[in-house]
Structure 1
Amino acid sequence: MASDARKQPPWIPPQARPNAQLPRLKIYNSLTRSKDDFVPIDPTGETVTWYACGPTVYEDAHLGHAKNYVSTDIIRRIMKNYFGFRVKFVMNTTDLDDKIILKGRQQYLLARFKQEHAAEDDSASDSVLVEAKAAFRHYIGKNLPSLPSDTSPETFSEAANKAYKEKAEPPSPANTSTVKQGEDVAVADLLLRAHIETARSAVEALQVPGKLPDFFAKTDDILLPYLDALHSAEMDSNNRKIYLELTQKFERRFFEDMDALNVMAPDQLTRVTEYVPQIVRIIEKIVANGFGYATPDGSVYFDIDSFEKAGHSYSRLEPWNKNDRALQADGEGSLSKGGSMKRSENHFALWKASKPGEPAWPSPWGHGRPGWHIECSAMASEVIGKTIDIHSGGIDLRFPHHDNELAQSEAYWSTPGCQVQWTNYFIHMGQLRIRGLKMSKSLKNYTTIRSVLSQKEWSARSLRICFLLMPRQDGIEVTDELLKAVVGWEGKLNNFFLKSLDLWKHSSPKTTTMKELGIADQELLSALDKAKTDVDIALCDSFNTSAVMRILSDLVTESNSAAALSDQIVILLARWATRIVTIFGLDPEGDLSNPDRIGWSGLDIPAPAKSYIYPASQLRDKIRTLACSGSVDHTVIAKLAYGITIAASTPVVESSRPYYQVLQQFRTDVKVLAAQQAPAKDLLALCDQLRDVHLWNLGIYLEDRNNPQPALVRPLDKLLIETRAERKSAGFAKAKAKLAMEAREAEREKELRERAKLDPPLMFKTSDDYLEWVESSTPTVPVSNNRRKKLVKEWEKQKKRHAL
């Protein structure tokens, strides 16, 4: 690979302008596969242009999309809020490609089919069953070809087990000589399993037809391709509404997901269907420049051979994949499979002649639609211009998509004797993988962002922390170890911010001069200065956020372990840490214009709880102090419980009721114990119950601290929950070990009791190993003196045991 890279023409960075005040920023550039000094095109060095490949909007976004777009957002925020660039961020949504055409058309035909049968009985009718059985035969014929042609729903299970028993099992390492071969086998296996499960679900419905909604839920996936095969050619090519309804829905849902992940909206959003005339114009110029040609069927292809003969270089991002036919075919799209009239196998489509049932736009070559790669070239060129500072996307887009974009754009903008470098820096984000495989909609091995954020394991912040902890160009395998690292980092910062906020709330306005600072303060200040320098070095090193995350963690550890720190220094450190996590997008409510802000959102308990939980905590603090004083004054305790007041202006609304009930129950229990003259241990147990049960169940924790500090009232976080779970698990393990030890002791006692039943005079006479005995019944010969002494002692012990 390295030798291939050296064959490419050298990347020529833009020249630094004398009046540009630029940071010492280096960016790992996929175009050069090295870290290059970042110099924007803007002569003032202030504005950065950035084009990002957006999603193909036909289904809900999954975690793989989150990895890409959150990582992109992190870098964008650093460029803007740390380095101070004015970033013009343009992103597209692909609202026209083969997947969208196929899914939009299939969904339309299925909806029409259901509507045609809506007037029938609510149960699956004979006509519906006939179509569904035909769809089943069509599906297994296309996707499970090893099954006999006469396989029916009744014989499917047996036939599938026989035909695919070995193929459906995971591939063994012995069958995979390379990583790529292994992945190809695993992908094929995953697709096979998905097809078998789809057919199995349909079989279940066909054998026991039920109500139509349930029937269709199990047979939709076989009906979709069947109806499309029958009726796709009937579709009106000018009826683009069916595709736009699909893409508009999922574009809206995509940006809802991005908002939930605290990803900033693009400065400008482009859509393919809104740029078709511009795409046609750009293709015309590429053809006129001699780098494209039309075929008799009305398609237009990019001529890679002519492009290279003119001195251009093709496949600069991944030269080693230049002749990978599988990747090239994937880049052409699923609807492009079959015969084509292009001159060479490696040429790619600029314009596709629309087949029957596909949307079409007028063009000089006939009705058709844009090729996949030309879309981004056209939109970026129209909105940004001849040269772009940064182009980004997932790592899987490097070839053929981004390599083809580069070629098309340079073929469009370049003139004889003047080659244009269309993009100066390519940034690619690593994939998120599950069991070693890329997360993919087609493989059905993905989890949607919505699904993840609805679970307790992950939040928008923890996902972002996960991506910050790993180099953005690397792939991520989601493991329990990674989740534990995320929880630990977030919990550590949570605790630090909580305690820093508490210090800030209760600290005096007095300022301390450098001369008045103690040794610990001065050491922490030095550590803070070093951390600032190290963070700058890390961010200048191609946005090395994983290093910054370690620096923040280490600094908090140093602060936590230091003794006798002044409030002022801790608050100073907390404000700097707040700025960094806000720059990283870890706080949706973050405000960089407020230098005094500490922490991130979620550090406070719910507003409806405050009027009741804070009084409960204060009452508990006083009771604990009295209970630990050595002499419990129950009269004082009773007065405390009766004397606690709640602001009259705070009505007990429904959202406040659980907290109100906890406070009232605690007061009642305190009064009862005071009236009973209960010992201190019972009062302390009641205080622990409030903390560990009642408030814990409401998502609130009271963190007890040394007197005279009151308990810290805080919301539960994942670290607290996991710590308790680990302690509980350790407690179970300890109890289990104790029971095992007690069982062993009982067995030993039982054995000793059995041995005690033996009469000492008979103790050694049962053994043939000894020839003579003395009166004590201990052997005399042929035993050594030392051995004889030990046996005598053993006999004496047995004598005592037997006598009991």
Structure 2
Amino acid sequence: MASDGRKQPPWIPPQAGPDAQLPRLKIYNSLTRNKEDFVPADPTGKAVTWYACGPTVYEDAHLGHGKNYVSTDIIRRIMKDYFGFNVKFVMNTTDIDDKIILQSRQQYLLARFKQKHASEDDTVSGQVLAEAKAAFQHYIRKNLPSLPLDTSLDTFSEAVEKAYKENAESPSLANADAATAKQDHTLTIAELLLRAHIGTARSAVEVLQASGKLSEFFAKTNDILLPYLDAKHGSEIDSNDHKIFLELSRKFERRFFEDMNALNVLPPDQLTRVTEYVPQIVRFVEKVIANGFGYATPDGSVYFDIDSFEKAGHSYSRLEPWNKNDQALQADGEGSLSKGGSMKRSENDFALWKASKPGEPAWSSPWGHGRPGWHIECSAMASEVLGKTIDIHSGGADLRFPHHDNELAQSEAYWSTPGCQVQWTNYFIHMGQLSKSLKNYTTIKTVLSQKDWTARSLRICFLLMPWQDGIEVTDELMRAVVGWEGRLNNFFLESLDIWKNYSLKDTATQEDSMSDKQLLSALDKAKADVDTALCDSFNTSAVMRILSDLVSESNLAVSLLNRTVILLAKWVTRIVTIFGLDPDGDLNDMDRIGWSGLDIPAPAKPYIYSSSQLRDKVRTLACAGSIDYTAITKLADEIENLTPTPVAESSKPYDQVLQLFRTNIKALADQQAPAKDLLDLCDQLRDVHLWNLGIYLEDRNDPQPALVRPLDKLLIEARAEQKSASAAKAKAKLEQEARAAEREKELRERAKIDPLLMFKTSNDYLDWDANGIPTKDAEGNALSKNRRKKLVKEWEQQKKSHDEWLATQQTA
């Protein structure tokens, strides 16, 4: 039952063909809010059709988009590369909607205004200044309504202080970050926008009150000119000049796919754009009307008739029935340019086709010039490309209502016939979102450029959590990501080292045989457990734990140079490649171990491996009972002959480190320096010179040489923690020494007191003996034996200290 008491139509499980062989896969289906057996509509059980709601391309994709599309990509890869389905993955880009129309129009008008008022001497004309001042008034009236109507440039700051005291001095949205938000309190989006508006207006005031260059002037007034010019001239734009509107969406579509490529998200098998399917959308709307579920209005718009749809036996709002009457969500689904009066029959009805207002792009239709509604585009394009039935439809959790519920209604209205209802989509899957924090709105380009996250670490983060759940990126989660990636890095490096650099033992010892059996058993169990987890609605968080546990179990075998580790490493490599954790991964290469980024740069190799080899041998000689300095000098000379000359420009930093190490080693050998100095120089090479080049030498037990590897975040954080612990230890030691010094000072001062007088300055006693030890308390009562005994002990200690002090004075 729906929350409003309506009976929901039963979900009809797809039927497998007689020859279909299907995995035991269950998928959490948003239509039923249960895990259902996955059965493709294809009778052979091989082909899977999938339609994914893509982005509305009017700005750069942010981390929230990244969560959605990376999670989708993970499931798609598992379906294709683990379960072996032949997936046809279709995605759209919404390249025309209210946001795109508004931003395109504003940018076009601003560019036209700048071109019209450009000047050779880069000065601000009187007309530009007048327009900008009018734009300022327009901006503050719309976005800062609590300011007095007579607010001027001169009174703006004072007026803002009075009207918006708590937000007046806060950073703009562009500069705010999660730390600021947490410090101030948990800010709402409305508060952040308010702060942004104040910052925008303040920047404009600054430049409007001071003459400057035209380029600088526009830099600080762009944001107030955009809505002003649109309000003044927006309706003048030619509705048939689609290029004005598509230029912006094409730009951000290109940038979106650049971001997806950077995140190793596979491109869609087929991309559909709304503006390329307008004739099909018009035909789709015509059939919905013909079937009795849509109606045109005198203004040239067409709306979906929910009442007629439900009276015909259909159910509306199947994904989120509890939101059916949520007016705010419905209004948001209709778009910002649709606000105002409409001629629809019911408030709940939604637009299939919108009559274009002046200044909005338009296409011809039986109802007049207009444009598609938001929801109809996906129904029409998915139906055109994939047909009457879709196996999987996906999108972010925020699309369930009204977008996907409206898609469902439209498509059922289009495909169903009297007495025969069509189940348009068999499985709806919705990706959980990032928590509503400022991090969610950081662009993907910014996230990846700041180096805090990589494409791999982001994907690991999303793999560690259930795909359908929301994620809050906490410090604990970030530590888990770093730890998991570092653990796999170590495992792959050690496995590659065994595979490539060692002659594995030809004869197996009893210990090897036992280790083999344990590892093979662990590998078989891991394979079975991974299959169970992936069949359980792509439970990647469980798989990540299984892989981590398997790697931990293999650590002992790594130290034994066990061949079976190679089998584990190849299988783990295959799973992480299926998950998209290696952009260079090749599932056809069955011998591949590890992922990209495990090797040091090619220009570094001849010099760094030579440095490491020399260092290994010097350390061995330094740890011997008697150091052979001649041998050390000979080794340093031989290394020089092994490195290529001339040195390429890209190799120079690495060659400089090698030459410095050689020179210093030879100098110490000439001086016959002690072993400690030689070992300190070896540590300096590892911990300073190579570390600064992003390379680390991981020392191991003899006879294994140091493992040459690039730095990763786990190593960096481990060193940071070590430095922090050392600093804390040093600080504690200093504090302890300071306390000891203060105590010593107090004791010295106290030693100066004559024991005859030490108790006589206190008001606690009334009578003392000849040595100054109290005999009666302040009330004249004789002291008890125990109390008297303690006082005598104190007196004796003080006498001893005082006598020692007197002796030092006499000596002085």
Q: Does the alignment reach a TM-score above 0.5? A: yes
| TM-score, length of structure 1 as denominator length | 0.94
Question: Number of residue pairs matched?
Answer: 785
Residues 518-576 of structure 1: per-residue CA shift (max 9 Å, x gap): 33332232222221111111111111111111111122122225686452121111111
Within 1, Cα distance between the matches of 2:602 and 2:783?
A: 85
Which residue identity is paired with 2:213? K
Contact 1:392–1:427 (8 Å) recurs in 2: yes
2:757 to 755, 762, 774: 762
Contact 1:235–1:356 (8 Å) recurs in 2: yes
Match of residue 491 from structure 1: 486
Residues 713-741 of structure 1: per-residue CA shift (max 9 Å, x gap): 00000111111111111111111111111
Within 1, Cα distance between the matches of 2:405 and 2:763?
A: 90
CA distance change for structure 1 residues 564 and 372 in 2, over 3 Å: closer, same or farther? closer
Q: CA deviation at 1:204?
A: 1.8
Q: CA deviation at 1:586?
A: 0.2
SS at match of 2:92: strand
Which residue identity is paired with 1:312? H
Match status 1:558 vs 2:546: no
Q: CA deviation at 1:773?
A: 3.7
Identical residues among aligned pairs (%): 80
Within 2, Cα distance between the matches of 1:284 and 1:486?
A: 51
1:312 to 314, 317, 329: 314
Q: 1:576-591 alignment to 2 at 5 Å?
A: 576-591=571-586
Match status 1:363 vs 2:358: no
Which residue identity is paired with 2:121? D
Match status 1:432 vs 2:427: no
Residues 664-720 of structure 1: per-residue CA shift (max 9 Å, x gap): 111111111111221111111111111111100100000111111111000000111
Within 1, Cα distance between the matches of 2:586 and 2:234?
A: 52
Contact 2:696–2:710 (8 Å) recurs in 1: yes
Within 1, Cα distance between the matches of 2:168 and 2:592?
A: 56
SS at match of 1:366: coil
Contact 1:520–1:564 (8 Å) recurs in 2: no
Which residue identity is paired with 2:392? I
Within 2, Cα distance between the matches of 1:483 and 1:516?
A: 38
Q: CA deviation at 1:6?
A: 7.5
Within 2, Cα distance between the matches of 1:372 and 1:25?
A: 33
CA distance change for structure 1 residues 675 and 507 in 2, over 3 Å: closer, same or farther? closer
Higher mean C-alpha deviation, range 297-306 or range 558-567: 558-567
| TM-score, length of structure 2 as denominator length | 0.94
SS at match of 1:762: coil
Match of residue 99 from structure 2: 99
Contact 1:612–1:646 (8 Å) recurs in 2: no
Contact 2:557–2:565 (8 Å) recurs in 1: no
Match of residue 666 from structure 2: 671
Deviating beyond 4 angstroms after TM superposition, the runs of 4 or more aligned structure 1 residues are 1-6, 166-170, 509-517, 561-566, 646-650
Within 1, Cα distance between the matches of 2:720 and 2:107?
A: 46
Match of residue 62 from structure 2: 62
Q: CA deviation at 1:763?
A: 2.5
CA distance change for structure 1 residues 628 and 205 in 2, over 3 Å: closer, same or farther? same
Match status 1:611 vs 2:613: no
Q: CA deviation at 1:184?
A: 12
Match of residue 423 from structure 2: 421
Residues 120-150 of structure 1: per-residue CA shift (max 9 Å, x gap): 5313222111111111111111111111111
Match of residue 641 from structure 1: 636
Q: 1:324-335 alignment to 2 at 5 Å?
A: 324-335=326-337
Match of residue 542 from structure 1: 537
Contact 2:240–2:361 (8 Å) recurs in 1: yes
SS at match of 1:594: coil
Q: CA deviation at 1:298?
A: 0.6
Q: CA deviation at 1:169?
A: 10
Q: 1:93-492 alignment to 2 at 5 Å?
A: 93-119=93-119, 121-166=121-166, 186-435=188-437, 439=440, 446-492=441-487
Match of residue 747 from structure 2: 752
TM-align CA RMSD: 2.1
Contact 2:504–2:561 (8 Å) recurs in 1: no
CA distance change for structure 1 residues 767 and 164 in 2, over 3 Å: closer, same or farther? closer
Within 2, Cα distance between the matches of 1:259 and 1:233?
A: 38
**Gap runs ≥5 in structure 1:** 171-182, 440-445
SS at match of 1:278: helix
SS at match of 1:644: helix
Match of residue 807 from structure 2: none
Match of residue 792 from structure 1: 792
Match of residue 176 from structure 2: none
Within 2, Cα distance between the matches of 1:473 and 1:754?
A: 71
Contact 2:392–2:428 (8 Å) recurs in 1: yes
Contact 1:394–1:431 (8 Å) recurs in 2: yes
CA distance change for structure 1 residues 650 and 7 in 2, over 3 Å: closer, same or farther? farther
SS at match of 1:760: coil
CA distance change for structure 1 residues 98 and 713 in 2, over 3 Å: closer, same or farther? same
Within 2, Cα distance between the matches of 1:659 and 1:802?
A: 66
Which residue identity is paired with 1:299? S
Within 1, Cα distance between the matches of 2:504 and 2:618?
A: 31
Contact 1:395–1:431 (8 Å) recurs in 2: yes
SS at match of 1:714: strand
Contact 1:52–1:393 (8 Å) recurs in 2: yes
Within 1, Cα distance between the matches of 2:305 and 2:786?
A: 99
Within 2, Cα distance between the matches of 1:128 and 1:200?
A: 18
Q: 1:508-523 alignment to 2 at 5 Å?
A: 508=503, 517-523=512-518
CA distance change for structure 1 residues 564 and 632 in 2, over 3 Å: closer, same or farther? closer
Which residue identity is paired with 1:711? A
CA distance change for structure 1 residues 4 and 680 in 2, over 3 Å: closer, same or farther? farther
SS at match of 1:19: coil
Which residue identity is paired with 1:118? A
2:690 to 681, 687, 695: 695
Which residue identity is paired with 2:803? A
Which residue identity is paired with 1:200? R
Q: 1:738-749 alignment to 2 at 5 Å?
A: 738-749=733-744
Match of residue 35 from structure 1: 35
Which residue identity is paired with 2:722? R
Within 1, Cα distance between the matches of 2:136 and 2:3?
A: 51
Higher mean C-alpha deviation, range 545-554 or range 474-483: 474-483
Within 1, Cα distance between the matches of 2:310 and 2:38?
A: 28
Q: CA deviation at 1:385?
A: 0.3
SS at match of 1:7: coil
Residues 438-477 of structure 1: per-residue CA shift (max 9 Å, x gap): 94xxxxxx21111111112100000100111111111122
Match of residue 531 from structure 1: 526
Which residue identity is paired with 1:47? A
Which residue identity is paired with 1:317? L
Contact 1:57–1:251 (8 Å) recurs in 2: yes
**Gap runs ≥5 in structure 2:** 171-184, 777-781, 805-812
Contact 1:512–1:568 (8 Å) recurs in 2: no
Within 2, Cα distance between the matches of 1:90 and 1:511?
A: 53
Within 2, Cα distance between the matches of 1:399 and 1:563?
A: 52
Within 1, Cα distance between the matches of 2:663 and 2:187?
A: 67
Q: CA deviation at 1:431?
A: 1.3
Q: 1:611-630 alignment to 2 at 5 Å?
A: 611-630=606-625
SS at match of 1:392: strand
CA distance change for structure 1 residues 718 and 617 in 2, over 3 Å: closer, same or farther? same
Match of residue 72 from structure 2: 72
Contact 1:521–1:565 (8 Å) recurs in 2: no
